[in-house]
Structure formats: structure tokens, C-alpha cells
Chains A and B, each alone.
Chain A
Amino acid sequence: MPDLANRHEQRRRNPWLAIFYWLIIVITFVPIIVMILYSFNNTPTSRITFTWYGFTTYWYRNLTQVDGLTHAFVVSLEVAVISAVVSVLIGTPLSIALGRYRFWAKGIISSMVFADIAAPAVVVGAASLSFFLSIRLDTGLLTILIAHIAFNIAYVVVVVRARLSGMDSSIEDAARDLGANPFTTFTRVTLPLLWPALLAAGLLAFAMSIDDYVITSFVAGSTVTFPLFVYGAAKVGLPPQVLCFGTIIFLVGLLLAFANGALNRRHLASRASTEDSLSTLVTDTNILTPVAASVDATADPSLA
């Protein structure tokens, strides 16, 4: 495809779009910068305040000092990892069923998956709590996991199914023609090809789970997760360690991104794979907007 960008630049040098883009980006980063800055604030009480008292790394050195914060963070990590793994394990077969077969329940299940993503968190949370109360299941870690896996399955299905629909099924047919049974076909042909999508789906499920506040607030019982802790503490006065945790998470994310970028450059250099840049990953597997898959379907129904 001809390099359109160059052509545009030759025709019209309009800086406004770029300015607009960068302006918005800066605005999105303002609270992050404030967070990082004030995690170093030397406040006299253990509550954040926005008068500047001088620079200190005290809060970083005493990260675990706040009652319940570290525990909440660990709980969030556990829930996120478990729900991501389980939802990928459960969601992948479901995606294959939806993506490769035609059966009468397909429409209903697809609608259910769509509803799961589209339903507002407050409704899902309230409904889940009603359900657990009715069946007398005590709210706690188990109910959090159940609810998280329930919504993560939908995200996994969308991501994996989008990838499947982009994958040519003739490779699998060829494998079958060569005598492979379905199981072998799956493990030696489909799965390796699907692997990037599974990873992307797992990461998405992880991200959705670790940041979930609304649904968790209904079904958590006495268990405290990191977003729940932060929301509750924001009412009493955030301890500075929360800002430290936020900064650390942010830096980890940044690091992962650079690592991904570095790996991509290596791949490009060795030409091992063509699907590596974020934008291609986004368009092929729709890493962070599951419903973006609908773009294909609505723009080109034959892809559905």
C-alpha cells in the first residue's frame, strides 16, 4: 500500500491535528504526574495533602506500613491472575465453537457474550449480589472470582474469535486431510497459531480484573481488593503509599511496553513474524477494545 502519510504531508501541512493530539495526551497525563509528584511529598500526617512539604522517599521505603494496603494489592493480583487463566481456559473452547462451527445455539450464546460486555457494571454487580444472597452463598474471595471469570470469559471470546476469523481454516483442513484427528489438529496447528491471541486475551482479562471496582464492591464481602481499598481510603484520606503503588504499577506498565517495543524491533530485524507492532496487534486482535471486533462485522458482514 502506498505510503499515504507522505503524500499527505506533501499536499497539506496542517499542524492542528498534531497539536490537538498532544494537548489531549498531556491532559490525560496530568493526574498521573500529580500522583507521581505527591508520592514524594513529605506530609506530616499519614494522609496525602496537596501543600508541598518537601521531597522524601519515606513512603516508598515504608510501602507495607499501611494496614491492609499490601494485602489488598496481593489479593487483587491473585484474583486477576486466576481469573485471567481460568477465563482463557474456559473461553478458548467457547470461541472455537463460535468461530468454527454452525449450530443452533450459536446465536444465543453470541448474544449472551455481547450482553456480558455491554451490560453496565452496576447492573451486573447488583444482580450478582442478588443471586448470591438468594442461593445463600457467602460473599468473599470465591464470589469475586466467580464474577470476574464471568465477565472475563466474554472478553476472551471476543479477542480469540476475532483472531480465529482472521485465520485461514484451510491449514486446519490440510492437517485433517493428512490424517490428524481433531485433538492433534488443535494442539499442533490451531493452538500455536492462536497463541498470540490467547496471550492478548489473558492480558486483557488480567487488566479488566485488576482494575474492577464496581462489580467487586457488590460481591466482595469482607475481602478487600486494591481498587476497593483505594476508594474507601479516598474517603478517609489516602495514605501516600497508595500513590506509591500507583506509581510503581505505572512504571511496570511502561517497562513492559518498552520491552515489547524492543522485542518487536528484534522481530522486525529478523523478520520472524509480521504481527508485532501494537497497532497491528490492536487491529488484528483488538487487544483493548473487544467490541472493536464488531467493526469488522458491521463494516463487512461476510467476516462475521
Chain B
Amino acid sequence: MLRAGGIGAGLAGLSALLSACGIAGSASRDHNNIDWASFWHEQKKTGVLNFANWPLYIDSEHGKSESIDLFSNATGIKVNYEAVIQGDAPFYATVEPLLAAQESTGYDIIVITSGWYLTQLINSNFLVALDHAKLGNFTKYASPLVKNPNYDPGNKFSVTWQTGFTGIAYNTKIIKRPITSFEDLSDPAFKGHVGMMNDNTEVGSAALLHMGVSPANSTHQQWKASTEWLKKQRELVLGYYDQSYIQYLENEDTWITQAWSGDVFQANLSGYPHLKYVVPKEGQMVWHDNMLIPRQAQDPLNALDWMNFYYTPKIAGIVADWVNYVCPVPQAKPYIANTLKDPTVANSPLVFPPASIVGKSHDFYVYKDYDDYETWNDTYNPIIE
């Protein structure tokens, strides 16, 4: 007994010593304002580009990507494309320690969704400010939807890769009446077959829209009020899912669900044409997956080259034709229709949304600081968990 006690005390002391320093925060230790002009001036061209992205997010035919090949041929830069990002949170958790220690992440371009993790990257000085002098194509071709977003004014650090909408999807074979509103997600007729997302920004924003509030300008009181509907709706929900929600819809476990526009498009093409995506009358959410250059990247000039290369009707068109999310270059539409001869994609409002749909799209709330983020979490996590 005595021995055990002695050893226990020793261990505790040792660990306390080790942990006394606590855990380092990610807020940048380098607080100086960085002179971006001279930063870019010093950069030299290299022969390689390390590009981290989400899976199934670039055109891909038998393991080869035409857009990447065209880039390599035009510039001579070898691209290491790695589809390693499976979630904003886990990916952020892996790069944050490296960036906090001012080491290289190994990537020149990473793609992160607008949201808390992107905000954290910006606030922690983990990103390289873009040199828009080299991004002429962005200025020329980018759609207004992706210019000067609320989470990155002036596109200082990011340019959009793909945009997506979050609305409602349902199975037209089972649900015969038209679905038009968020209220349909709480229709008792669908009890036990309603799917929701487990991303609390999606759930919370849907509730705010249902209440008639635009999430980007919402207040803490409105957050709290919106949980009333969610709590009642919870009894009808089968589950709060991550991206696997589409499986449950395809397998008829859920009949109606929150959904991302691109997933429904792809489901239609892969044997489920009876699934339909609708923009609720209260509005839909719009989110952007953005290309960013992390600090200590080895080849930032090449990253700019790729971004500039991408923002053309041809390349953006090739990618949009495959990925089927909202293309950030409106002029890619005629390219897809005429040159790629793919009217399904070219005429799809999910890839080239008309002004009426864009008008009903709402931005997500941008957190001011960690406490703000915590308040949102504390409001909505009890619903999901």
C-alpha cells in the first residue's frame, strides 16, 4: 500500500512537472505585422506544387486529372496532388501544431471550408496573404458570389475552389407532395425518417433561416430562440449525420434530409434520379471551400500560378463538369455546354445558379472570437449529441 502510494505520488509529481506548462495555444507567437510586399518579392520559383484537397474534388479519369496535366504542361511545374482532407476539424488539428511551431505543413495549397477553422487560420496568422497582382484571372473571371466574402474581406487570404449550397433533399418516390420549406423537416408524417447534419453550423443556420433570421447577422438571443424548433423536431429525426447523410437518403432510411447540392447531383447520376434537391422558401445556406496558402509553404509562387490558372472558363469548366458543385467562374457555362458538350451540367441550377437562387442564398455566421464560437457550440451541440 505504502509502495503504491509512494509511486503514485511520484508519478503525479512528475506529470505535474511536465504538464505545468500547460498546452500551447495556436495564437501566433509572431505578432509582427508582416510585410507581404517584400515577402512576395523574395520568393523564387521552384519546380513543384504540393496541393492538399478533399477527396473526389477534382476532375479525375482513371487516376489522371486533365486540369492538373494542362497546368503542368503549361508551366512545367510538377503537381503533388493529395486528397487527404477528410474534414476541416481533423485536418486543422493536424496542421495547427506545425504552423504554431512555425514549421512547414508540407503543402503549398490547402482547401478549407468557410467557417471557424478558416477564421482561426486567419486570426492566428497562419496564412500567406495573396498577391492579387498575380491573380489577374481571378479579378477578371470570378463570380460576384465568391468575391469579397464576409469571412475574408477583399479575398486577402483565399480564393474559392468550389461553392456549395445546403438545402433540403428528399426522395420523390416516397414523398409525393412538393417540399418547399424547412417546416417540412418537422412534418410528423416523416417521423423517424428525417435526416439532419451533425455539423452544428448547418443545423443552427437551418433553424435560424426557419425563424426568418439571416444567420450572418444573427444574435445570441436569436440562436437560443431557434433551438425551440430543433428540440421539437428532434423526435422526428433518425440521426444527425456527417457526409454519410446521402447514404441514408439513398438507402431509404431517411426520406427527407438536409443536403449539399453537389451530393444530390452526383447521386442523381449514380443511380438515384428520384432524389431531388430543393431551395427552401426561407432560403438556403451557401458555403465556400477555399484555396489557401499556409505559412512556411515552400512554393507559394507556384500556388499563385495554379490559382490564376484555375480561374479561367476552360479549367474551372473542366473541374466543375466533374465535381458538380457551384462553379466560381460563370463563363465556364458556355464552355461546358459547347466544348465539353455536357448540357446536364451546364444547365443545372446547382452548378450555375441563376440570380434568383443566388438571391436566396445566405452566408454563414462568422465568429468574432473563441467565446463567440463556444456560445454557438453550447447552444447547438446539445441538440446534435
Contacts and interface: CB of A to CB of B under 8 A. Distances in A.
Interface of A: 43-47, 49-51, 53, 62, 64-65, 67-68, 104, 108, 131, 133-136, 138-139, 220-222, 224, 232-237
25 contacts: A45-B269, A46-B56, A47-B56, A49-B270, A53-B271, A65-B62, A68-B82, A68-B84, A133-B23, A133-B24, A134-B19, A134-B22, A134-B23, A135-B18, A136-B24, A222-B94, A222-B105, A224-B84, A232-B87, A234-B244, A235-B242, A235-B244, A236-B55, A236-B56, A237-B247
B41 interface: no
A233 B4 contact: no
Nearest to B91: A222
Given A62-B62, A62-B63, A222-B94, A67 B247 contact: no
B55 A67 contact: yes
B95 A236 contact: no
A64 B64 CA distance: 12
B266 interface: yes
Nearest to B90: A232
B97 A221 contact: yes
Interface residues of B, number: 41
B81 interface: yes
Given A49-B271, A134-B22, A67 B84 contact: yes
Given A62-B62, A232-B90, 8 more contacts: A45-B270, A65-B62, A108-B3, A136-B24, A139-B94, A139-B97, A222-B84, A236-B54
A49 B271 CA distance: 9
B101 interface: yes
A141 to B, nearest CB: 12
Nearest to A50: B251
B97 A65 contact: no
A94 B246 CA distance: 51
A67 B82 contact: yes
Nearest to B97: A138
A171 B8 CA distance: 39
Interface of B: 3-4, 7, 18-19, 21-24, 54-56, 60, 62-63, 81-84, 86-87, 90-91, 94-95, 97-98, 101, 105-106, 242-244, 246-247, 250-251, 266, 269-271
Closest 6 CB pairs of A and B: A232-B86, A222-B94, A67-B83, A65-B63, A45-B270, A134-B19
Contacts of B94: 139, 220-222
Contacts of A49: 250, 270-271
A108 B62 contact: no
A235 B86 contact: yes
Nearest to B58: A67
B221 to A, nearest CB: 34
A43 B243 contact: no
Contacts of B21: 134
Nearest to B86: A232
Contacts of A136: 24
Given A134-B21, A221-B97, A236 B4 contact: no
A51 B4 CA distance: 60
A126 to B, nearest CB: 13
A44 B271 contact: yes
Contacts of B86: 232-233, 235-236
